[in-house]
Amino acid sequence: MRLTNLLMLAGLFFCVIVSYVLMSERQDVVSHLEGMEIGLSTFGDFARNKVAPRLAFSKDGSLICMWDKRAYPGNISDCIPDKWIVFSVKDGDFITASSNQVWQGWFPHIIYTVPSTNKMSDTEELLRNFPFLTPDVKWGSCFTNVTAYTIQDATQLALRAHPPPKYTTYEEYLRVFPVVAMFRLGEEADVLWETKLNGASRNRDVKQLAFLNVPDSAEQRILAVCEDQSGYVLKQETGEILSSFTYGHIETEREARWRMRRFALFGRADPSYYEFSAHVFALDPSLRYLAAARGLFDRRLRIISLTDFSAVHEFYANENPHRPRGGNWKMNNLAFSPSGNYLIAESAHGGRLARGRCITEVIDVKSWQVVQKIDDINTHAVAISPDDTQMAYIQNHVLKIVPFVPLKRPR
């Protein structure tokens, strides 16, 4: 009898411990937090599944902007949004939008419009809060037909990358490479130099540009990150290519074949599908790290140090991209928080025979541990406020702003 009681107590104690661990490591924290909700049904295609919305807090955290990250016809780059809406974080009120007509609906004869109220018509104020929205308003055509750009406010110097020109013959194809230019801002762009990245893969765009200014260094540098496998360091004064780097270890053909045999279904796959080549990027605001993800076929993610361009961490390297069966993984979005303390990685899984999934993980940059995880097909576009106290996301066509609560026991 005594032994039975001891066993029952031990079992009860074990259940309590397991329950505590499970509750302490819950990763759907956001679903239990109360916050502000803004219905998106009156804001046109921003409430539709076929749109890829993104969110960003203003520099002071008082406003939040929602825009569609897709590239639209006539706008090659998706880094300058065509359509956007700004809301107040305090009360959720509509502030302003790119136009009263946000976007055309699914049927050509249906037009969705935003409310006509416009509490902030001052463009300069909007530029200070969200400088990435309308650089053309302030600087005209300096940033048209670009795949990436950046501005150094203190010097009024700017960088832009042009897509490779179209070609019709093989001889033209041999000369097609992306171009990076530096210029001084003004009524007209005063171009200081242009550099063709001859070592880059043809027909690949430059996706990230940055001034890598090092304190107490006589030689200032420029960072240009391309799709596929390579990035470049240029001399700021002349645009001369100083060095190139890859996003960590690039697999050999033998390693790619090993990965193919390990993960491919029925052994039928091209080894090139398993090589690491990046298509989705994010730059740490303090320029310590570059996050690079495949974006296609799987969700492998690498963190590159911008000090020596070595890979400091890698995520999902040993995951099977074919699981669950019937579909493939891809990385939809990468973004560092404004403070640089967190990295937000949004990945999705889908296919003809697979039930869709969307997983967003918030990663602590100091420990490279996941401190928040949302596994919900209806939740996406996560953003964190500049002071790391609030989180915004879209769930079932509703914009929600809730307190940001990292896990106490990160994974």
The one-character DSSP state at 271 is: G
pLDDT of residue 270: 60
Three-state DSSP class for 104?
Answer: strand
The pLDDT of residue 385 = 96
Query: What CATH number belongs to 261-411?
Result: 2.130.10.10
Burial 129-160 (b: 16+ CB within 10 A, else e): bbebbbbeeebeebbeebbbbbbbeeeebbbb
Q: How far apart are CA 103 and CA 231, in angstroms?
A: 36
Cα–Cα distances in Å, from 266 out to 45, 252, 260, 262?
A: 40, 22, 10, 10
pLDDT tens, 170-194? 788 778 888 999 999 876 778 999 9
Over the stretch 69-98, which tens digit does the pLDDT of each residue have?
764 433 445 567 777 889 999 888 888 887
pLDDT of residue 216: 57
Mean per-residue pLDDT over the chain, rounded: 78
Q: What is the pTM of this model?
A: 0.82
Tokens, residue 341: 């303390």
Intervals of CATH 2.40.128 along the chain: 146-246
Q: What is the pLDDT of residues 94-126, one digit of tens each?
A: 888 876 444 444 333 333 444 544 444 556 677
Range list for CATH 2.130.10.10 in the chain: 261-411
Q: Write out the CATH class of domain 146-246.
A: mainly beta
Closest CA to 134 of 199, 75, 222: 75
